[in-house]
Amino acid sequence: MSQPTLATSYLKRGLSRQTWIITGIILVLLHLLPWAIPQIVHIVIMIYLFATMGQAWNVLGGYTGQFSFGHSLFFGLGAYVSTLLYLKLGITPWIGILISSLSGIALGLFIGALSFRYGLKGPFFALIMLAFAEIFHMITMGWNAVGGSPGLLIPLKGNAPHLMQFTSKQPFYYMALWMMVGSLYLVWRLEKTRTGLYFLSVREDHDAAEALGVDTFKVQMIAMAISAGLTAMIGTIYAQYLLFIDPDSTFGILNSVEIMVRPIIGGPGTVLGPLLGSVVLTPLAEITRLAFQSYSGVYLMWYGMILVIVIMFLPHGLMGMIRQIIDKYRKG
Amino acid sequence: MTSNSVLNVVDVSKSFRGLRALSGVSFTLRQGEIFGLIGPNGAGKTTLFNVISGFLKPDSGRVGFLGKDLVRLKPHEICKMGLARTFQIVKPFSHLSILENVAVGCFNATNDIQEAEERAWEVLRFVGLEKKALSPAMSTTTPDRKRLELARALASQPQLLLLDEVMAGLNPTEQMQIVGLVREVREKGITLLVIEHSMRVIMGLCDRIVVLNHGECIAEGEPRAICSDKDVIEAYLGKGNTFVRD
């Protein structure tokens, strides 16, 4: 490797003009997609929503190395907070989504303070998250004031943009698209900042990071706040999109798996991994759900199989595979 | 206590479930010296490093660094004050490049990414790793990992550097290269506290030495005096032996 000059920076982020132009073209095409192929809008919305949640999980799990096994907690919290605010107090979900996000952050920081203060990591942190998600699952199941096990129905008001209700899917498509693009951009920028590098150092070696002046507690709390706040926002959008939430589909353990399996298969700790994982898995789940309607849960068998294959042959996920191919191409 | 003292370790004791790892350890480091910490295996050297750098809380005693007490502080706060350390078992950030490894240390002293990168290259050139800067840390050899450990600690811009066996596992040529680096570090005005097993290295390198045995200081002084100290010879070789110098 030649002696690098200081004009070229290896830490800063920059894309070539070519890449920016291609990205721009892809973005424009994605904006035109609902008009071009309206049949697949629903699936693409789900791809975006899960890609965004995967990205949120990725900040904590992929970059900071704290695997959360209960991210449905923040998703469910976001869905319930905005829905209850609307149903009980008549507060529009546009404000609800902010309050959802803030309550997600607050709960995330509370759990973070409990766990990171005592250096919990690995399976112990995963179980703490699972436990909290189950606590909320049980509370919402049993407490009739918040809907109980039948869940909550958001009354249909027709096309009511001020209540985040639309008769067509297009507005949700654009909301989901921009949430996804925003989260992608945020993480992409974050990756090469001091905070981003600190996330990685905590994942790689806690003690070494601490010895180099990294406040590991604070760094993990920041990752937790970003992750929780973003996931809760998606919870609100999801609730408004389906106009129905129940404890199983929000706080349920399967939902946690749904959130974490995409970044793991796509490549944890990479910017594009969650999106890639979502592009592959979300249609697969939806299609198998349609194809095997009478056998509920078949899509989970698919997840299991893919997960086994990916962990055995692609330890760095699909992104790792792509990177290998690019390296080979460059050398050869 | 002299006015130019950098580190004051005063009567530090630490037990692990009844096992006394350190009992009443005291010594003082002066500005700009290379101070050696030696002792047989299990003497408590690394425990003492962990106490000074904040990874362990002592049961009693005081650790003063530039006039401030370190005992209540966390490791990252201590690093911010200008006290850096390396680990005996190297802890590279395996999946990050060597440059990024060092940059983490640089961010201790600056928030600016450009400045951090410039500083990182400077440190990498200093330790001779600049040609491997962009390869991941896990792909490097043991001697390079030791250099990386040193580079990262240096990047945090310390005033006092604790080196925990940075030369262990290296061959004599590599050891002498690191010794050269350590001397250059001192030239920059950084005070050093060094744990080392190789007598040849430590005797040639250090200005003063303290010897630990079973968690107690058994001798302190210049290398020559330490070599002929009766207690030291006894601790290393047992009773009735004489220390033979090569």
Interval A220-226 mean pLDDT = 96
Confidence tier at A8 by pLDDT (50, 70, 90): low
Minimum CA–CA partner of B124 in chain A: A3
Question: Closest by alpha carbon to B233, among B144, B222, B245?
Answer: B245
Q: Distance between alpha carbon B106 and the CA centroid of its chain, in Å?
A: 19
DSSP A66: -
**Is residue A167 in some structural domain?**
yes
Q: Is residue A130 scored above 70 in pLDDT?
A: yes
User: What local confidence, expressed as pLDDT, does residue B182 receive?
Assistant: 92
B153 contact residues in A (CB cutoff 8 A):
211-212
**Is residue A312 in some structural domain?**
no
CB contact under 8 A, A208 and B92: yes
User: What local confidence, expressed as pLDDT, does residue A73 receive?
Assistant: 96
What is the total count of domains within chain A?
A: 1
Confidence tier at B234 by pLDDT (50, 70, 90): confident
H and E: helices and strands count for chain A:
14, 2
User: What local confidence, expressed as pLDDT, does residue B240 receive?
Assistant: 61
Q: Look at residue B9 and give its three-state secondary structure.
A: strand
Q: How far is Cα B246 from Cα B200, in angstroms, rounded to an integer?
A: 9
Question: What's the pLDDT tens digit per position in B5-34?
Answer: 899 999 999 999 888 899 999 999 999 999
User: What local confidence, expressed as pLDDT, does residue A6 receive?
Assistant: 46
Question: What's the pLDDT tens digit per position in A15-50?
Answer: 788 888 999 999 999 999 988 988 889 999 999 999
Residues 6+ apart with CB under 8 A from B219: B209, B210, B211, B225, B226, B229, B231, B232
Percent of chain B whose pLDDT exceeds 70: 96
Q: Would you call B107 an interface residue with chain A, using a CB distance cutoff of 8 Å?
A: yes
CB B127 within 8 A of CB B185: no
Residues A184, A187, A188, A192, Cα dihedral to 10°:
180
CA distance A220 to chain B (A): 14
Q: Would you call A170 an interface residue with chain B, using a CB distance cutoff of 8 Å?
A: no
User: What local confidence, expressed as pLDDT, does residue B200 receive?
Assistant: 81
3-state SS, A16-61, equals CHHHHHHHHHHHHHHHHHHHHCHHHHHHHHHHHHHHHHHHHHHHHH
CB A266 within 8 A of CB A276: yes
Least confident range from A61-75, A270-284, A298-312, B81-95: namely A298-312
Interval B79-85 mean pLDDT = 94
A12 contact residues in B (CB cutoff 8 A):
113-114, 117
CB contact under 8 A, B108 and A212: yes
A 267-286 → B contacts, CB under 8 A = 269
**Angle subtended by helix axes B113-127 and B142-155, to nearest 10:** 140
CB contact under 8 A, A211 and B117: no
Interval A250-259 mean pLDDT = 91
Q: Would you call B134 an interface residue with chain A, using a CB distance cutoff of 8 Å?
A: yes
User: What local confidence, expressed as pLDDT, does residue A241 receive?
Assistant: 93
Q: How far is Cα B81 from Cα B63, in angstroms, rounded to an integer?
A: 13
CB contact under 8 A, A213 and B152: no
Residues 6+ apart with CB under 8 A from B27: B9, B35, B210, B217, B220
From A10, A192, A197, residue closest to B107, measured CB to CB: A197
Percent of chain A whose pLDDT exceeds 90: 61
> Token pair for residue B236?
């290393």
Interval A199-227 mean pLDDT = 94
Compute the mean pLDDT over every residue in chain A, rounded to the nearest whole number: 89
3-state SS, B192-204, equals EEEECCCHHHHHH
Percent of chain A whose pLDDT exceeds 70: 97
**Is residue A288 in some structural domain?**
no
Q: Is residue B241 scored above 70 in pLDDT?
A: no
Minimum CA–CA partner of A203 in chain B: B93
Q: Would you call B75 an interface residue with chain A, using a CB distance cutoff of 8 Å?
A: yes
Q: Does domain B1-82+160-246 have CATH number 3.10.20.30?
A: no
A210 contact residues in B (CB cutoff 8 A):
55, 74-76, 79
Residues 6+ apart with CB under 8 A from B118: A6
Q: How far is Cα B105 from Cα B115, in angstroms, rounded to an integer?
A: 12
Structural domain range at position A174 = 40-264
Q: Is residue B202 scored above 90 in pLDDT?
A: no
User: What local confidence, expressed as pLDDT, does residue A3 receive?
Assistant: 45
Question: What does the domain layout of chain B look like in residue ranges?
Answer: 1-82+160-246, 90-157
**Is residue A296 in some structural domain?**
no
CB contact under 8 A, A10 and B97: yes
Q: Would you call A37 an interface residue with chain B, using a CB distance cutoff of 8 Å?
A: no
B 152-181 → A contacts, CB under 8 A = 152-153, 155-156
Residues 6+ apart with CB under 8 A from A210: A216, B55, B74, B75, B76, B79
Provide the residue count of chain A: 332
Task: Work out whether strand B216-221 and strand B191-195 pair parallel, antiparallel, or are unpaired.
Answer: unpaired
CB contact under 8 A, A214 and B131: no
- Cα A219–B190–B100 angle (5° rounding)? 35
B 174-233 → A contacts, CB under 8 A = none
